[in-house]
Structure formats: C-alpha cells, structure tokens
C-alpha cells in the first residue's frame, strides 16, 4: 500500500560526487526510515551546477529509486545548499517597547529579528537561515527566549547564512524539473551538525567541518548558538586531482590510491613501503603522502584564517569535528589538531529508526542531518501555530 505524500519527509543532497535522496515517515511522533538512493552525480563542478540537464536527471533517477523503496509518492522535498558561495554575517538590531514595562510577545521577537536582518547585503545574496544568537532585554544579555519577560527594549544578535541567489535558484529549478516541489533549503554544514554536534559541544564552542568533494563547508557554535558559517574552495576532489596529475594516472585510480594508501602526514608513512600502479610502475607510498600533505595543510591554513577573520578561532573549547567523505583520508585529524590547536574527531550521523548502517557514515551526515533539522523545525513551527490558534480561539470565545 502506497503512502500519502504528506506523510513522508524527503531530503536531497546534490553533491559533486554523489546525489543522495532519503525518505522517512513520522511514526508516533518519531522519524522512521522508509527508503533511500545514491547515484553518481553528473553536471556538477566544484560543488556548483555546471549543467542543469544532467543534474535534473540525477535528482529524478535517485528520487524515483527512493520512491520505489519507500512505497509512497514523493511530491515535496527539502534540499541542501553548499559550495564556496556561502557567506555568513552577524547583525544586531532591536525595537523599543515603550516607556513603561510590558510583557514580551512572540510578535515582538519577530519584529526585533526583522530589524536585525535588515543589514545591507549585495543584490545577488539570498538568506538561507536567520539564527538568533542571544536576545538582550534592557541591556541584559544571554537570553534565549524572551517571550513572557518584561522590559522596555528588546534587541537580538543574529547570524545570517547567505548564498548566491543564482546558485540557489538553479538547484531549486533542477528539483522542480524533476517533478518535486522544494519546501525548504538548508545550508549543508548546519544540516550535518544537526546529526553530529552534541549540546555540550555547542555550548563549549565547536567547529563542524564538512569536507565534500568540491568544497568544504563549516559552522561554528558557541554558547549554544551559531556564531559563524562559511565555505572553503577546497574539497576531496582537489586531493584526488593532485594525485592524478602528479602520478599521471586516471582520476578513478587516483581516488582509490588516496583512500587506500593516502596519508596527510608524510612522516607517518614508512619510507620503505612500496606499491604498484595499474601501469606496472612501482612507487614509494610516501610519494603519495608528499603530494597530499601540502593540500591538507593548505585546507586547514585557509580554515584557520577564515575562523580568525570571523572572530571565532579562540572559541573552540570543544574542538572541531570533521565529517563528509573527504574526512576519511588518513592523517587529516593530525593536521587539524596541529594547525587549529584544538582537539579533533571524525563525526558520523546518529541513526534514525530502521536506517541502514550504510547511512551512518560521514559522507551521509548532510543527508541524515537535513532529515533531523527539517523534522525539528517543523515541530517548532507546529507548536507556534498551535499556540496562535489557541489564542485566536480564546479571543473569539470571549466575544460570544
């Protein structure tokens, strides 16, 4: 028996290497896995859409397979947004509540957020997320939910994650052409963090680093809120291409060599270890590390500079968490700890009920995280809507 489309939650991660679709249902208030599909991406380059047609075909193919396994109809989807065009900006704004103390309402909170979001942005930028960091009531900081409190002035520190409007519209167009309506877009690093970063890490300060094929996205949490978002134009494919060019081998063989024999720290590889390439050449394994280490150090130098410019380099009390397919390369944790001077670990997503083991891997963190993020924000919106409806019912009841 097929399931109604409204009962299913579908998320899509269109990456440079893979296009992934995951379908789940709400069962007694909890998420339960229904089906998924993964296919090789086409039409993508460096994390961006290069050709609409092939990307549309990939989404359609993966969605059709996931739909078949889920036994239901997919009409709506949530889609991830990533790539080097991502920018984060912090802003502050607020509203006056009058000269006399009064209670803060949800409408006051929305008005303060609207005032803070009115920061000037380039014409081609689109806001993906509006993320309050803290509210200030009559200059009292550190408030997370001011509704019900009393004061005369409400301010908010806000983080805005923005992306290229053209890139965002391109990915939505591809999904639409594949017969899917996009109901929500999520920055991929924020999605991955939903499935990996703990509440304690968010409070102490942590950086989630999602190393994809075409680029690396990051989000920094501090005191429980998002403090910084950004993207670095280096991903796993750059390491592979370095090997392909340096060793004069095909890209698929370079990818295999990277995963099987690659290391980001030259001195960790025995000088005597050798291996044979597909064309019969024998090389020292350390040669591979000599090509990979400079790229790894470049990535984390750029990450360090980005964190410093964002004012959050010293805020990583809980360290950094590496995820994404690129995080699998040996030695990256050592490079991260050496250059960022904080503890580092590999992050894998938490499991959803009935979810296969193959999805509980770093390369699926964005996919699983989008599902969790969409569910959580949907529950919050439903609670707010329910509260508003209750107020309206009470108002009308009072007039009868």
Number of neighbours of residue 382 by Cβ within 10 angstroms = 10
Same domain, 338 and 272: yes
| CA atoms of 240 and 170, how far apart (whole Å) | 27
Domain match, 272 and 368 both:
no
Cα(215)–Cα(85) distance, integer angstroms: 10
pLDDT tens per residue, range 75-108: 999 999 999 999 999 999 999 998 899 999 999 9
In a domain, 399, yes or no: no
Contact (CB, 8 A) for 242 and 295: yes
Residue 398 lies in a domain: no
Tell whether 270 and 172 lie within a shared domain. no
Instruction: Mention every residue, 6+ apart, whose C-beta is less than 8 A from residue 91.
Output: 116, 117, 119, 157, 158, 159, 160
What's 178's domain CATH number? 3.30.420.40
Mean pLDDT of the chain: 92
Predicted confidence at residue 20, as pLDDT, reads 97
pLDDT on residue 381? 74
Q: Are residues 192 and 146 in the same domain?
A: no
Q: What is the dihedral of CA 393, 380, 29, 21, to 10 degrees?
A: 130
Q: Is residue 264 part of a domain?
A: yes
Q: Are residues 363 and 262 in the same domain?
A: no
Cα–Cα distance, 210 to 194 (Å, whole number): 12
Counting the structural domains of the chain, the total is 3
Q: Which residue's structure tokens are 């130098």? A: 301
CATH of the domain at 98: 3.30.1490.110
State the pLDDT at residue 386. Answer: 57
In a domain, 388, yes or no: no
Contact predicate 219/190, CB 8 Å = yes
Is residue 394 a part of any domain in this protein? no
Pick left, alpha or beta for residue 60 (phi over 0 → left; psi -120 to 50 → alpha; otherwise beta): alpha
Distances (CA, A) of 374 to 77, 113, 230, 355: 10, 21, 21, 17
Ordered mean pLDDT values, 10 residues apiece, the chain (400 residues): 67 94 90 96 87 96 96 94 94 92 93 91 92 93 93 95 95 96 96 97 97 96 96 96 97 96 95 93 96 98 97 96 95 97 96 94 96 88 60 42
The verdict on 332 and 230 lying in the same domain is: yes
pLDDT (0 to 100) of residue 388: 46
In terms of domains, do 231 and 318 share one?
yes
Domain identity same for 78 and 155: no
Structural domain includes residue 313: yes
Token pair for 65: 């397979």
| Same domain assignment for residues 233 and 280 | yes
- Find the DSSP H helices in 71-133: 106-116
Structural domain including 341 reads: 225-346
Distances (CA, A) of 375 to 9, 11, 110, 147, 259: 8, 11, 22, 23, 34
Predicted confidence at residue 3, as pLDDT, reads 54
**pLDDT for the residue 4:** 53
Residue 392: its pLDDT value, please? 37
Clarify whether residues 260 and 334 are in a common domain. yes
Q: Global pTM?
A: 0.91
Of residues 123, 14, 125, the one with CA closest to residue 63: 14
Q: What is the DSSP letter of 266?
A: G
**Interatomic CA distance for residues 130 and 328, integer angstroms:** 31
Instruction: Please answer whether residues 226 and 250 qualify as being in contact, where contact means their C-beta atoms are separated by less than 8 angstroms.
Output: no
Do residues 189 and 276 share a domain?
no
Q: Is residue 400 part of a domain?
A: no
- Note whether residue 219 is domain-resident: no
Q: Are residues 243 and 334 both part of a single domain?
A: yes
In the prediction, which pLDDT does 399 show?
39
């Amino acid at each position: 028996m097929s399931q109604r489309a409204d009962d299913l939650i579908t998320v899509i991660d269109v990456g440079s290497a893979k296009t992934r679709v995951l379908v789940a249902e709400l069962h007694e208030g909890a998420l339960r896995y229904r089906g998924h599909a993964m296919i090789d991406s086409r039409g993508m380059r460096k994390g961006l859409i290069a050709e609409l047609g092939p990307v549309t075909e990939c989404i359609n193919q993966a969605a059709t397979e996931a739909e078949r396994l889920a036994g239901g109809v997919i009409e709506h989807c949530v889609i991830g947004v990533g790539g080097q065009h991502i920018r984060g900006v912090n802003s502050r704004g607020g509203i006056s509540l009058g000269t006399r103390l009064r209670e803060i309402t949800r409408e006051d909170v929305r008005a303060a957020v609207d005032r803070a979001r009115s920061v000037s942005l380039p014409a081609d930028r689109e806001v993906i997320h509006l993320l309050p960091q803290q509210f200030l009531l009559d200059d009292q900081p550190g408030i997370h939910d001011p509704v019900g409190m009393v004061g005369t002035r409400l301010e908010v520190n806000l983080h805005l994650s923005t992306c290229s409007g053209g890139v965002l519209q391109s990915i939505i167009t591809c999904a639409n052409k594949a017969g899917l309506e996009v109901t929500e877009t999520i920055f991929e690093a924020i999605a991955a963090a939903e499935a990996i970063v703990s509440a304690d890490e968010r409070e102490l300060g942590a950086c989630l680093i999602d190393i994809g094929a075409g680029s690396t996205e990051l989000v920094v949490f501090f005191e429980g809120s998002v403090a910084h978002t950004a993207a670095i134009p280096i991903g796993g494919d750059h390491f592979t291409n370095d090997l392909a060019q340096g060793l004069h081998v095909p890209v698929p063989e370079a990818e295999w060599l990277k995963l099987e024999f690659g290391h980001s720290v030259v001195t960790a590889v025995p000088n005597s270890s050798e291996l044979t390439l597909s064309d019969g050449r024998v090389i020292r394994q350390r040669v591979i590390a000599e090509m990979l280490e400079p790229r790894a150090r470049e990535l984390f130098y750029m990450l360090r500079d980005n964190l410093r410019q964002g004012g959050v380099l010293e805020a990583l009390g809980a360290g950094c968490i590496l995820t994404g397919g690129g995080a699998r390369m040996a030695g990256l944790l050592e490079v991260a700890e050496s250059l960022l001077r904080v503890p580092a670990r590999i992050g894998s997503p938490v499991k959803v009920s009935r979810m296969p083991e193959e999805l509980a891997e770093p390369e699926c963190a964005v996919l699983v995280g989008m599902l969790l993020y969409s569910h959580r924000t949907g529950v919050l919106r439903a609670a707010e809507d329910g509260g508003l409806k209750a107020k309206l019912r009470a108002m009308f009841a009072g007039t009868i």
